[in-house]
Structure 1
Amino acid sequence: MTRSTKFLKQVAYHSREPMVELNQHGVIQNANRVAEQLFKLEKYGANSFSSLKLLGLEGKHFDWEYLINNLSLLPKIVTYSLGSNTTTYLFSLSADTDAHQNEPAYFLVLSPIVGNGNEVETYRVAEEKFYKVFHLSPDAISITRVADGLFIDVNEGFVQLTGYQREELIGNTVLNIGLWNVLPEREKLTNDLLNNGKSFMEASYRIKGGELAEGQINARIITINGEDCLISVVRDLRQQKAVERVLREREEQLKIINRATNDAVWDWNLTSDTLTWNGGMERIFGYKPEQIEPKIQWWEQHIHPEDQQRVMNRIRYFIEKKQEQWFDKYRFLRSDNSYAYVYDKGSILQDENHRVIRMIGGMVDITDRVLAEESLLIRNQQIAEYSFFNSHKVRAPLSRLLGLTHLLQEDLVSDNEQRSIIEKVRLAGEEIDEMIKEIAKIFY
């Protein structure tokens, strides 16, 4: 239904709300009686929008450029002080646009908000809170129209996240910009909003330049000037996802190492005093996961009583002095109550304050090597003792034999041929004696 110009003028004239008509340059063309009295308007052509001196509750003046670029965000809560009157009047500012004689015309309506000073302060505080949350938040916040995804407003966080300037977004749509990387994710968001009025999900999107990013979206439907709008808070997850990927890769690497190694790998959190093990504890020492307590005391109690004090003193000294690597050899109790000889080695991790917070290491079963070394030592000792015994048993008669050859040579034998034979026997005996001496040196 259309209304005549005369009828509309009558409505504005009798309205109790200040109404103002402005041209495309912000010059006041018409005003009703309430507006004339409120803003002390005399000659319309001599007054522009700036002469209204409207002030937002966040402390910012409304200029003409802001108004025409943000019509969809209105009504806006504004204040106006009349001359020297210190009373602050609170209005809800709304605006609309139309064509008048082939030129744009803007219509402003200021609806008074009736209340006392406390309510004005309440509105001011609420507006200030919204301003801080929206504009100062490090998260990316946008307001879009539900019907077509048109951007109504974005904060600096959204500009920083997407790489688009605010001017590129306002008045454009989400689909035109191409932010959504996977359209079914947008459909899921829409369905959540239609069913629940809110949505909380992770999604991938494309920032300016085509780079793929990941974010966490918290969105709700709100009503602005009678239209359903979507306010979305997007938290950038790129760094978090990168860290998660690195952690997953390291976890996979650790799993591969755990399967490939025969070590019992351990991780000691000194902050909580908890100790965790890999599968090596079961493979090497026979303990089922449910038999292992995640406490440092459990490990300490399984060290051989004769080694326990020494090992604990050394590891505490290592942590206190923040030495690069700790290692020790000791005996560790198996699940079958026998003891294994182990070689244990670990390194510390420090926080930004150089406090030791973790220690990671691995325990190797060296029982076979130790037993082999002990067996070899015993065997060498036995050989040495046997060699010593036999060298004395052999050298004693050999010495007597050499003595007899000397007597025969000097006193009893006069025949030169016999003397030559006896000399050969003596030399052979001395060679045997030297060989026995060299053998004895090997073991002593």
Structure 2
Amino acid sequence: MLKRLLNWMAIQTESVDEKTVNQFWFQSMVFLTLVILSLYVLFGKQVGNNLEIRFFLLFFAAFFIILLLMLRSRHFSQVGAWFGVVTLTGMLYATYRFGGVQSSSYIAIIIPLVIIVLFFRGRMAIIATSIAVLFGGALVWAEAHGLYTPNLIYVYSFESWVNTSFIFIFVATWVGIAARMTRRSLATNQQEIRERSKAEADLQEQTRFLSALHETTLAIINRLELGSLLESVLESALELTSTEHGYVDMYEPQARAFTKMAARGVFTQWVNIPTAQEQGLTGEVFRTKNTVLVADYTTWNKRLERYTTGFYAIIAAPLKLDGEVIGIIGLGYTEPGREFTPKQISALEQFAELAALAVDNARLYQSVQSELSERKRVQEALTESEENLRLALNAARMSTWSWNILTNETTWSDAIYDLFGIEKGTQTFNYLSYHQFVHPEDQSLLEEQARQSLENPQKPYSVEHRILQPNGEMRWIAARGRVYTDENGHPVRMAGTMIDITERKLSEAALHEANQQLEKNARMLERRSQLLRIAADVSRAASAILDSHELSQQVVDLIQQRFNLYYVGLFMVDEAGEMLCLRAATGEAGQKMLNHSHKLPIGNTSMVGWSVANRQARIALDVGADAIRFNNPLPPKSRSELALPLISRGQALGVGRVGEGPHLHPPADRRRRGDVRGLPDPAGLVDQRRSS
């Protein structure tokens, strides 16, 4: 009942700031009132002679002391209600007893009225004001009709001046405190408005950078010629950082140096000039594998003398693949004192990651083109070699042989000795000795071909087999021949030629290996193109979506759809750094886990917890056999899983988790490190949104 009455009368404070302000107000009012009562006792003449006045003042002093004790218990609503009601009642009583409306007590009613206006609801302010006005009017009417005679013995000029002065002091002090707190509140509000405006401006600038990053990514994604790609990369980097001076260095491992392959502005004078991998700014980037920023290169202690003129601030961002630096994007300002902003640095680092993939893609494309040219050259050389061998055989009748089936006699041309690596005259060379040179694995093939030709004389004898020369060298032989029959169609003789085809076999093996490498590179090229398209989709989403939760869900949906995965989830580290909270997930099972606010501790109790704790990716080809996997019934059909930590600036922000269904095995190309490297970076995005 009391709580409902207080709620009807006074404004209830909820926030900590409001309670703190109210406590200060009430303490100031009560303390100031006690001071005024004390001064009134000291300077008031009638106090010592009148028991009623003395009791009245003691009552109010005790009442205000009780209010101070209540304030220590933070009962602000009760203090405000009692202060207003009791003070108003006391002033009305003092007006009636000590001088009527001509006394300073009636003027002092302004004090409880101000308190009621500030801390009570509007209805109470109207009621209190009406009571004060009607009470004074009633006293005037009663005095005019002889029903009330004010006690004017307490109304003296000095006493009136003292009482009125105390009222003025109370009101002025209180209004001064109110004005000071109002100014402080206004200043706080203005500061909050400025901070909010700055945050909105920063967010707009971040959105502009993301849009520019998306556009530049689309501009370089389909560039396959390395030279034009590097020029496009440099132009995009210059646009991102609003400068006209920059370069792109590419690493040459054999020379252990970097060479400027593209340059603009002041850096064009050093095109094609190599810089050792341990020198200057290039050496710092190559050693640390991180972005290096120099505010004034002319005074930097590690500068190279040939670069000390023409520019001041310079930034160099590495192009990295598999953790190794393959190139550097360098940008500079020629104006003294101009510096790169943190947002420009962040945008350049993100752009460098995408540019590195595009450069690797162009290199792979050029490698494929080179292999295609080599394949064509090998095919042409093979055709020419076969034609030359055919002409030589027809013209010289090299390495001929003849077998008399009826007498089992064999004759050979002299070239056969060179073919088999033996000297003529050192041994008799016949059909039996010929078989002794044939590779053991080809013996059955040789006999089968001879049997087929003898059974069907119309079928030419043709076999390619290996021989082992006396020195242990293996050679390839192509034997060609035909079967001759008598008038009855019975075989009587076989004759033909033998050719050393070792070089041709080596060429065929090389061609086969080149074809396999070509197919492998073609698959890798297609995969990289897919990854770059996915990165472009994620960049497009990042530039359009400002809400971090919506962006996280968009990223996992893109990864799940593009890679045809059964399940994709994104866990983020909580503020305490102890738990991994599921931020986004795909599929029905993922939505169930999101609805249940799925969490996992960081540590060795689950794959995602182990991945964040050790900052390493973890793959389980069979999740049932993985020792540290958390036995989660959702998703129940997951067979193979991958946990990939999200690391930004050396700090683990979360972990991505992907899974294959029970009917699939992880394809070989999905398990390759290159695919993991090509996945989009939710950390960064998350990091960008968090900083925004």
**Larger helix percent:** 2
Q: TM-score, normalization: structure 1?
A: 0.32
Q: TM-score, normalization: structure 2?
A: 0.21
